[in-house]
Homo-oligomer: A and B are copies of this chain.
Amino acid sequence: MIIIIKMMAVLSGRKKKHSRKRDEILGLIRSTTSHPGARWVYERLKPLFPRLSLGTVYRNIRSFREEGELASVGVVQGEERFDGRVQPHPHFICSRCGKIVDIDGSMDKNQGMPEGVIIPPDLYVDPRKTVLYGLCGDCRKADEKGMTTV
Contact = CB atoms under 8 A, between A and B. Distances in A.
Contact of A130 (B75, B118, B122, B131): B131
Interface of A: 74-75, 90, 92, 94-95, 101, 103-120, 122-127, 129-137, 140
A101 B116 CA distance: 17
A124 B118 contact: no
Contact of A132 (B101, B112, B116, B134): B112
A104 B110 CA distance: 14
B123 A129 contact: no
Nearest to A117: B105
Given A114-B107, A124-B135, A130 B130 contact: yes
